[in-house]
Amino acid sequence: MTPYKTLGSLPGFLILITLVLATCAQAPVPVDDSELKARVQEYMRNLFPQYEKIEVASIEDRDGPFRKAIVEIESGGNRQTSEIFLSEDGQYLVLGQIWDLGMDPMRARWEQKQQGAEQRRNTIDLTDRPARGKLDSPVVLIEYSDYQCPYCSRAYESLDKQIYEEFKDRVKFVFKHLPLESLHPWAKKASVAAACTYVQNPVKFWDMHALLFENQKALTVDNLRENALQFASQLDLDQASFKDCYDTDKTALIVETDLREAQSLSLSSTPTFVLNGAQITGVVPAEEMAAYLNYALEDAAKTNQ
């Protein structure tokens, strides 16, 4: 077996943060308001790149161990004003959790995504699942995906055509099925087809995987079988064996096992990635995924020293 199985009430939350801040001994960030506004603004823009505009309008003193910042956020043409809190010394941003303004924002996001990582590693079973890259790597990126999901198709373009090529000599890549049948009526049968390919020829799984995503817009409930058989022919799979596997749902149990595992982890959207236990949900830019992979590699190297 591999390491993977082969805001409460606000007053209480603030008390907890106060206790944590009191134990921190890092050097404080300068508290000049103009410098602090610029620092918080830049940090938040890096922390939340999905927003078109983030501006810190003001920083105000208040009773207690925190200062208050008024932040204006714009996204999709909508503007809203929010309040966030800062430690008195300007070292920490309090926004759902404590963010250290002295830490690189992307590294801070990586640290956040590792919450619950051990439990996920202990739950996920990698036995006999499609894998490629550096198979003995201590860094494992698992993708839970749906062949009919348009966002998964976008993730495929990024992951398979950019990230995999850059990291295939350092990271193990694993695929798991998470067809959302209530939204995507042919997704489960597409997973059955991919799993039938894997059972017959594990190496060619990735070719079937690519064909399903690259032809996603042309596939329908009515023509999936015809196209799946055609793809199997293109890949020189044994036609009789593949047809029997597909028509009798011989690999449905594989798909359903992945589904149950995802449900036990409360994974309900696709794509979802699990990187050494850290959960990354949705389509993320290639440069962001690359940063997470590099952090995971750095952490693994430190652990093995």
Q: pLDDT-based confidence at 4, cuts 50/70/90?
A: low
Pairing of strands 78-87, 92-94: antiparallel
**pLDDT, tens digit, 9 for 90 and up, residues 228-254:** 999 999 999 999 999 999 999 999 999
Which residue would you say has higher pLDDT here, 13 or 60? 60
- Which residue ranges form the domains of the chain, and what is each CATH number? 10-103 (3.10.450.630), 117-303 (3.40.30.10)
Give the model's pLDDT for residue 25. 39
Q: pLDDT-based confidence at 81, cuts 50/70/90?
A: confident
Give the model's pLDDT for residue 260. 97
Helix (H, G, I), strand (E, B) or coil at 79: strand
Average pLDDT for 43-47 = 76
Give the model's pLDDT for residue 27. 43
**pLDDT, tens digit, 9 for 90 and up, residues 140-150:** 999 999 999 99
Q: Are 201 and 193 in contact (CB under 8 A)?
A: no
Q: Token pair 């890259």 is at which residue?
A: 133
Average pLDDT for 18-27 = 42
Q: pLDDT-based confidence at 33, cuts 50/70/90?
A: confident
**pLDDT, tens digit, 9 for 90 and up, residues 250-280:** 999 999 999 999 999 999 899 999 999 999 9
**pLDDT, tens digit, 9 for 90 and up, residues 53-80:** 888 888 888 777 788 888 888 877 788 8
Q: Token pair 């009430």 is at which residue?
A: 9
Phi, psi of 93 (to 5 degrees): -105, 130
Quote the CA–CA distance of 290 and 187 in Å, as a whole number: 28
Give the model's pLDDT for residue 146. 98
Is residue 187 over pLDDT 80?
yes
Q: pLDDT-based confidence at 100, cuts 50/70/90?
A: low
Average pLDDT for 218-225 = 98
Q: What angle do CA 248, 182, 231 make, to 5 degrees?
A: 45
Is residue 132 over pLDDT 60?
yes
Calculate the average pLDDT of the chain.
86
In which element (H, E) is residue 74 found?
strand 66-75
Average pLDDT for 184-210 = 98
Q: Are 188 and 146 in contact (CB under 8 A)?
A: no
Average pLDDT for 170-177 = 98
Give the model's pLDDT for residue 26. 45
Q: Are 255 and 177 in contact (CB under 8 A)?
A: yes
Residue 104 CB partners (closer than 8 Å, separation 6+): none
Q: pLDDT-based confidence at 170, cuts 50/70/90?
A: very high
SS (HEC) of the chain? CCCCCCCCCHHHHHHHHHHHHHHCCCCCCCCCHHHHHHHHHHHHHHHCCCCCEEEEEEEEECCCCEEEEEEEEEECCEEEEEEEEEECCCCEEECCCEEECCCCHHHHHHHHHCCCHHHHHHHCCCCCCCEEECCCCCCEEEEEECCCCHHHHHHHHHHHHHHHHHHCCCCEEEEEECCCCCCCCCHHHHHHHHHHHHHHCHHHHHHHHHHHHHCHHHCCCCCHHHHHHHHHHHCCCCHHHHHHHHHCCCCHHHHHHHHHHHHHCCCCCCCEEEECCEEEECCCCHHHHHHHHHHHHHHHHHHCC
Is residue 209 over pLDDT 80?
yes
Which residue would you say has higher pLDDT here, 57 or 295? 295
Is residue 99 over pLDDT 70?
no
Helix (H, G, I), strand (E, B) or coil at 202: helix
Quote the CA–CA distance of 42 and 139 in Å, as a whole number: 30
